[in-house]
Homo-oligomer: A and B are copies of this chain.
C-alpha cells in the first residue's frame, strides 16, 4: 500500500508536508501543493485511517447495534441513522444482536476494541445493563434507542409505548370488543412493560375488567407461537380481539388463527404496534400504531454526534416520539 512516505519521496518533500496537503493545514506554497497532489493522484494514494485514528484518538466511526435486521422498524431506523451519520461525516459499523445477549456482548467487545467514537444502541432488554455499564465505564458516548434499561442513565429516544397501546386498545373497545388479549414481548423489555401498562389503562378508563388470563408474554421475534394462541382460544370466555405488541407477533397470531380456520377480522380482530413497511404498501390490512422509525435513527444519531462533539449538556436527555394510529381493516366491529 502507498503511504505518505512514498508520496513524500516522489514529490521531493517530507512526509509532514504531504500530511499538510492532505489535511489542508499549515502553510504550503501553491507549487508544492500541486506537485504533492499530483503524485497522490498518480499513485492512487488513500490515507490509512488506522494510523490516523491512532494519533488522533478518533475514528469517525459510529456503531449501530439493532436487535433485528429483518424487522422493517429497525431497517428504517437504520436508514435514518445512516443518512444522518453520513451527512455529519461519520461511518457506520453495523451490528445485529438478534435479541440475543451473548451476541450483544460480543458486539460490545468489538465496539470497545474498535475505539469507535460512539454507539447507537437498541438494547435487547434489561439484561443489557451489564453491557451498557461496560461501555459507560470506558466513557463511550451512548444513545439508547427504542428501549430503556433500568439502572442506565443515557440519552434515550423512545416511542410512546404506553400511549400507543392505550389508543390501540381503545380503538378495539370502540368497536365493541370487551375480551381483548394482549400478546406481548418479553417482560424483560421496557416497551413490552409499557404496552402492558397502556393496555391496562385503556381497560380501566373504560370500566372493562382486567383479566390476567388474556395476557401472554412471548418474545418479539416469535412469529409462530401456536401454544400461546390455542391457550387463548380455549379459554372458557375467549377473546374477540388481539392486541399484539409488535408486527411480528401480529403476523404470528394471524398465521396461527388462519391455521385454525379463523379469519381476521371476521372471527378475530387484530391490531399491533409498528407498521410493516412493504407489506402495508402491498396490502393495507393491519391496523397499527406506527412509530416514526426513521426519526428514531436520525434523531438518535444527531444526539449522539452532539455528545461526541461536546455539544450536549451533562445530564441525559430523553424524548418520547409519538406514534400514529393507522386504522385499516384488521379490526372490525364486534358481531353481537
Contact = CB atoms under 8 A, between A and B. Distances in A.
B75 A70 contact: yes
A254 B251 CA distance: 22
Nearest to A281: B251
A290 B226 CA distance: 26
Contacts of A8: none
Contact of A106 (B70, B86, B281): B86
A50 B47 contact: no
A39 interface: no
Interface stretch (A109-117, A168-176, A230-238): A109-117
Contact of A72 (B48, B138, B247, B278): B278
Nearest to A94: B94
Interface residues of A, number: 52
Interface stretch (A51-59, A201-209, A211-219, A304-312): A51-59
Interface of A: 1, 44, 46-51, 53-54, 59, 69-70, 72, 75-76, 78-79, 82, 86, 91-96, 103, 106, 109-110, 112-115, 134, 137-138, 223, 247-248, 251, 254-255, 276-279, 281-283, 285-286
Given A46-B113, A248-B278, A279-B279, 15 more contacts: A44-B137, A46-B112, A46-B138, A49-B115, A50-B53, A50-B114, A54-B54, A69-B78, A69-B82, A70-B75, A86-B103, A91-B93, A93-B94, A254-B282, A279-B283
- CB-based closest 10 A-B pairs: A94-B94, A279-B279, A46-B112, A49-B113, A50-B53, A50-B50, A283-B283, A278-B279, A251-B282, A50-B54
